Structure 1
Amino acid sequence: MPHDDFAFEPVKGLPEEPPKGEEILWQGRPDWWALALESLSLKWVMGYFVFLAAWRLVAALDLMPLSQAVAISTPFIVMGLIVCALLALIAWVQARATVYTITNRRVAMRVGAALTVTLNLPYTQIANAHLDLRRRGTGTIALELLGDTRFSYLVLWPHVRPWHLKTPEPALRCIPDAERIARLLAEAAEARVAQPQITRAAPPAPRPAARPEPTGAAAPVPAE
């Protein structure tokens, strides 16, 4: 029977039931192929092995016939295919284990295949959102945080804005229809931040009781 590793979640992608008044606007996960290309640099890795094979082929042509030169350069192509297949598998597993959630109050990110982490990012803690749109319609929405809120780049990777090591920014990586999702997030954040935040004030401390004045007849003054 199939087993769901996240069956303990009361709501998909969230560690607990949303509080009263919170509404889920969108949920999604990365496009695994776009994640492999952008986050794991699949094209660059394959290009590296193709370069090694071509370099070996050209170097061997002066020493042996073409058939032998091709034979000794082919293992580089085979190794490249194996490495790229492993990277594609990693991207698929990462995308499978990820759930991004946008509500009318926050952005939640359940990320991590081996070590699962759930981030809750209220709109009041988000300073800005940056959209990196790609040709196929996929894109990355990076969230710039306010204050001293910091996360580990390694723990968040690949769900983090690339190359921002000093101040890591959580990111919704390689999501389909990214432009529409970015507009949805912006509208929800603007509506939430515009709402007045009502907090209950602490009751005032009780005043000390006044000491009663002494009553009765005044003490007689002794005669001189």
Structure 2
Amino acid sequence: MSHDDFATEPVPGLPEKPPEGEHILWQGRPNWVQLSWEAMSLPWVIGYFVLLALWRFGAVYDLLPLGQAIGASVPFLILGAVVVAALMLVGWVQSVCTLYTVTNKRVAMRIGAALTVTLNIPYRQVANATLSMRGNGTGTIALETMGDTRLSYLVCWPHVRPWVMRRTQPALRCIPDAERVARLIAEAADTHVATPQVERRPSRAAVAAE
């Protein structure tokens, strides 16, 4: 029997239905290959095990025939392949459990594999947004928030701007067509922030009556 952990969501990626006047502009997930490559630091991991294999080969090259020297370094490459596969599995799980939502009023991020949380970031709370593009068309949009709200880097990882820990910046990591999504966010933020917010306050007569 199949089971959907997110079947209780009234709208995929959101904990409740959007209020009147709010509509979804875009939804998407990270590219799991690119997320694994960046967030799991695969280039460094691969380089580490390649260096171990070369070190082992150099250490036994003068002591063993060429074939045996190569064979002595192969276990390091096999171990490296296992570690890389495990990290890519983690990246895939993170991608499957993630859903980014851009509306005309906010950015929502349902993130987390073991502990699922939903971040709601209204445009009025965004001080700045940065776009980092990759050659394959994917990119990361990091959001710098205002106010006293503090987000945990570890809870949000890997959906954060890498290595910015003093004030965590939530990020839409490794999303396809990131440039178009960034334009959607910019246009929606400009429109929403420019819209005056009307607050209802009691009249002086009502205050005096109290």
TM bracket, shorter-chain basis: over 0.9
Correspondent of 1:205 among 186, 199, 207: 207
- Corresponding position of 1:217: none
For the pair 1:91 / 2:102, whether they are aligned, the reply is: no
* 1:206 CA drift (Å): 3.0
Alignment match, 1:64 = 64
Q: 1:111 deviation in Å?
A: 0.3
Match in the other structure for 2:55: 55
Q: CA deviation at 1:163?
A: 0.8
Could you tell me which amino acid in structure 1 is paired with residue 207 of structure 2?
A
Q: Which amino acid is 2:139 matched to?
A: G
Could you tell me how far 1:118 is from its partner in structure 2? Answer: 0.3
1:152 aligns with 2:149: no
- Paired residues for 1:15-164 under 5 Å: 15-164=15-164
TM-score, structure 2 as length reference: 0.96
The CA distance in 1 between the partners of 2:97 and 2:152, in whole Å, is 19
Distance 1:173 1:4 in 2: 24
Hey, what's the Cα distance between the residues in 2 that align with 1:43 and 1:2?
Answer: 36
| Structure 2 residues without counterparts, runs of 5 or longer | none
Counterpart residue number, 2:171:
171
In the alignment, the residues of structure 2 paired with residue 202 and residue 108 of structure 1 have an alpha-carbon distance, to the nearest angstrom, of 33
Larger Rg: 1
How far apart are the structure 2 equivalents of 1:65 and 1:2? 55
Question: Identity percentage over the alignment?
Answer: 62
In 2, Cα distance between equivalents of 1:167 and 1:205: 41
Q: Which has the higher helix share?
A: 2
Inter-partner Cα distance in structure 2 for 1:197 and 1:126: 16
CA distance in 2, matches of 1:207, 1:156: 49
Corresponding residue SS for 2:208: coil
Cα pair distance change 1:147/1:47, threshold 3 Å: same
Distance of 2:154 and 2:62 partners within structure 1: 46
Report how far residue 2 of structure 1 moved.
Answer: 2.2
Q: CA offset at residue 207 of structure 1?
A: 4.3
Count residues in correspondence: 208
Residue type of the alignment partner of 1:18: P
Tell me how far 1:64 sits from its aligned partner. 1.1
- For 1:46 and 1:53, locate their aligned partners in 2 and report how far apart those are by CA, in whole Å: 11
Shift of 1:110: 0.2
For structure 1, list consecutive stretches of 5 or more residues without a partner in the other structure. Answer: 209-224
1:6 maps to which residue? 6
Distance (whole Å) between structure 1 residues aligned to residue 184 and residue 71 of structure 2 = 54
Cα distance in 1 for partners of 2:202, 2:174 equals 45
Please list the CA deviations of residues 65-92 of structure 1 after superposition, one character each: whole Å capped at 9, or x if unmatched.
Answer: 1122112111100100000000000000
